[in-house]
Homo-oligomer: A and B are copies of this chain.
Amino acid sequence: MNSPEWQKIEVLADRKYPVYLGTSLEELGAYLPALPEKVEHILIISHQKVLDLYGGRLMKGLGDYRVNLLVVPAGEAEKSLERLSQLTTAALGYGADRKTLVIALGGGVIGDLAGFFASVFMRGVRLIQVPTTLLAQVDSSIGGKVAVNHPAGKNILGAFHPPQAVWTDFTTLESLPWLEVENGLAESIKHALIADPGLFNFFETQVDSIKQRDPLIWRTMVTRSSSVKVKIVSQDEREQGIRGLLNLGHSFGHALETEMNYRGVTHGQGVSIGIVAAAHLAGAKGFISLAEVERIKQLLRNYGLPIAIPGQNPQALLQRMQADKKNQGGRKILILPQGIGNAVISQDCTDNEILAAWQQVISG
């Protein structure tokens, strides 16, 4: 698998938009005149840490524009209505108007928060996603979903606000802590499992190069994994059907995260366990062979992702799944692998089958 220096792929959604892969931060400024409407004012929303690392490179290309920075503290807690309100005050203070362009420079938290701000400020202004975490590059920057949290739940208030473009510079990943890499790897492996057997095989054969962050191998990994996301959201932007496949591992993982009160388990680790549980369930239903279940577990294990959660209570975990907002009319909607590189939406898993899957990951 080879990729050119940089490439453009298109999200064929309601309004289509380009995802630029392997570009450089410095060049974004030179791209802006290509937008259909002139840019006069730019708001960059980011974390201080990310600005320290990459703000200078981005600003280099933006010399011709009036630019203001809005700095948001790091952390999931910042995806809030309170922060939205503060961003609004600051934006108005800088004279932001309907022609303002918002640039979200950071990971999924910045992408979701700045994206939601852009979707509602003056009934919607333009947005460019500049993802700087692996998770954001392969997943959250693509597809238009933006949101803030609410005390009662994650991503409860949000919108579909597709960006003008996604601008992905692979070199920003060099500074990413390994724990953050893990979060992105879990989603990338999920993409391979649901839609790209070749990528799955690539993950199996390139373990060392990926762990050593070989730039060429990462380039391929990110390109291929983000392409899966592009392909799926192009077919189903509003999650009426096939986009649901991206939730593989997430119903289980989310139950685990909430049961553990978001302590002691990262999102990536939750997804990893969730993928294993879904694999066991798929195995029990005959959707995949036991050898394939083992292949999935082995792959996750090779990347240091967890595949077992000794000590958890299966009944409690099942209970947590009752509250999943994707359930419909009391029925649990689960995504199950069907072979490697393919997945299905299943509505007919019984509580006993789900319990058995939890048992498997608990006993490891």
Q: Tell which of B88, B92, B120, B153 touches A120, judged by Cβ atoms closer than 8 Å.
A: B120
Task: Please give me the residue from chain B that is nearest to A85 by CB atom.
Answer: B81
Q: Is A152's CB under 8 angstroms from B120's CB?
A: no
A158 within 8 A of B: yes
A168 within 8 A of B: no
A69 within 8 A of B: no
A178 to B: closest C-beta gap in Å: 32
A156 within 8 A of B: yes
Mark each residue of chain A from 7 to 43: 1 if its CB lies under 8 Å from any CB of chain B, else 0: 0000000000000000000000000000000001000
Q: Tell which of B81, B97, B124, B159 touches A325, judged by Cβ atoms closer than 8 Å.
A: B97
A119 within 8 A of B: yes
Residues of B close to A358: CB separation below 8 A = none
Q: Is B325's CB under 8 angstroms from A122's CB?
A: yes
Q: Tell which of B99, B120, B325 touches A158, judged by Cβ atoms closer than 8 Å.
A: B120
Q: Tell which of B92, B99, B147, B156 touches A92, judged by Cβ atoms closer than 8 Å.
A: B156
A110 to B: closest C-beta gap in Å: 18
Q: Tell which of B88, B124, B145, B157 touches A121, judged by Cβ atoms closer than 8 Å.
A: B157
A60 within 8 A of B: no
A160 within 8 A of B: yes
The B-contacting residues of A in range 127-154, CB under 8 angstroms, are: 145, 147, 150-153
Task: Please give me the residue from chain B that is nearest to A160 by CB atom.
Answer: B123
Q: Is A98's CB under 8 angstroms from B160's CB?
A: no
Number of copies: 2
A256 within 8 A of B: no
Given A89-B150, A150-B88 in contact, is the A156-B121 Cβ separation under 8 Å? yes
Residues of B close to A152: CB separation below 8 A = 88-89, 92
Q: Tell which of B84, B124, B157, B328 touches A88, judged by Cβ atoms closer than 8 Å.
A: B157
A73 to B120, CA, bound (A): 24
**12 further A-B pairs in the complex, CB-CB below 8 A; given A99-B328, A123-B155:** A40-B329, A81-B85, A84-B157, A88-B152, A89-B152, A92-B152, A121-B157, A122-B158, A123-B145, A123-B159, A124-B160, A159-B159
Mark each residue of chain A from 165 to 197: 1 if its CB lies under 8 Å from any CB of chain B, else 0: 000000000000000000000000000000000
Q: Is A89's CB under 8 angstroms from B120's CB?
A: no
A81 to B121, CA, bound (A): 13
A282 to B117, CA, bound (A): 38
Residues of B close to A99: CB separation below 8 A = 328
Residues of B close to A151: CB separation below 8 A = 89
Residues of B close to A156: CB separation below 8 A = 88, 92, 121-122
Mark each residue of chain A from 78 to 115: 1 if its CB lies under 8 Å from any CB of chain B, else 0: 00010011001100100001110000000000000000
Task: Please give me the residue from chain B that is nearest to A124 by CB atom.
Answer: B159
Q: Is A120's CB under 8 angstroms from B325's CB?
A: no
Task: Please give me the residue from chain B that is nearest to A148 by CB atom.
Answer: B120
Task: Please give me the residue from chain B that is nearest to A151 by CB atom.
Answer: B89
A180 to B: closest C-beta gap in Å: 25
Q: Tell which of B81, B124, B147 touches A81, judged by Cβ atoms closer than 8 Å.
A: B81
Residues of B close to A97: CB separation below 8 A = 325
